């Protein structure tokens, strides 16, 4: 982790952390109240865009963990109830991005890889939580239900073997898309900032 941050890096880290916090608090509250499904997935897509854009501006070791810690703390301070699950999710997203960008440099490919890894984690996170709360038997229930639906629609073979990889692939593709969007946004933002200086 970098110890000698200059003032610009410090402010930009604070900005992206605060922005992530604002999104988590306000958009998260709106989505929670709307009760629409896949709220966590929607927030993760935005987080991926924010992460892959921000790394272009704060490209030092530990920056992703710093912005996720700030976002999680702001959520913790601002909202009345403390929910441990989204708190863990935000920190994990930062850690995953940090691992990807620290071991391989920040570039187009790593942005796509970070995006897909974070999206995959979101899917696995909810499955892990369900496994803890309902017991590991919940996975067998899901698999059996999918296979029963397969039988009901006269599908030869096990539907779960097709559907589960499709769901995982879908999350990977969404992550790749969000990663691409974030990387392209970072480049365009830099262009806009340069134009405004000129």
Report residue 34 as tokens: 């709307």
Q: Which of 29, 30, 59, 83 binds other proteins (CB under 8 A)?
A: 83
Neighbouring residues of 55: CB distance < 8 A, sequence distance ≥ 6: 63, 64, 97, 101, 106, 111, 186
Q: Does 10 help bind other proteins (rule: CB under 8 A)?
A: yes
By CB under 8 A, how many residues form the interface with other proteins?
Answer: 57
Using only C-alpha atoms, what is the Rg of the chain? 19
User: CA nearest 155: which of 141, 163, 169?
Assistant: 163
Q: Does 59 help bind other proteins (rule: CB under 8 A)?
A: no
CA 96 – CA 60 distance, rounded (Å): 15
Q: Does 153 help bind other proteins (rule: CB under 8 A)?
A: no
CA 66 – CA 9 distance, rounded (Å): 11
Question: From the CB of 45, what's the least distance to other proteins, in Å?
Answer: 12
Report residue 118 as tokens: 């974070």
Q: Site map for other proteins, 93-132, x if CB under 8 A?
A: ---------------------------------------x
Which residue ranges make up the site for other proteins (CB under 8 A)? Answer: 1-3, 5, 8, 10-15, 17-19, 21-22, 26, 35, 37, 49, 53, 57, 62, 65-66, 69-70, 73-74, 76-78, 81-84, 132-135, 137-138, 141, 144-145, 148-149, 181, 184-186, 188-189, 191-193, 196
């Amino acid at each position: 982790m970098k110890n000698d941050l200059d003032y610009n890096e410090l402010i930009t880290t604070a900005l992206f952390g605060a922005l992530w916090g604002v999104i988590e608090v306000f958009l998260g509250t709106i989505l929670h109240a709307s009760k629409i499904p896949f709220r966590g997935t929607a927030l993760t897509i935005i987080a991926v865009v924010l992460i892959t854009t921000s790394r272009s501006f704060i490209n030092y070791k530990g920056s992703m963990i710093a912005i996720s810690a700030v976002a999680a703390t702001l959520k913790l301070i601002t909202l009345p109830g403390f929910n441990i699950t989204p708190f863990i999710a935000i920190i994990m997203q930062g850690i995953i991005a940090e691992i990807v960008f620290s071991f391989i440099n920040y570039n187009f490919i790593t942005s796509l890889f970070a995006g897909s890894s974070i999206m995959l984690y979101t899917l696995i996170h909810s499955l892990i939580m369900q496994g803890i709360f309902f017991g590991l038997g919940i996975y067998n229930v899901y698999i059996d239900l999918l296979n029963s639906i397969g039988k009901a629609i006269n599908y030869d073979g096990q539907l779960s073997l097709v559907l589960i990889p499709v769901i995982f692939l879908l999350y990977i593709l969404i992550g790749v898309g969000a990663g691409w969007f974030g990387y392209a946004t970072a480049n365009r933002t830099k262009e806009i900032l340069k134009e405004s200086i000129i």
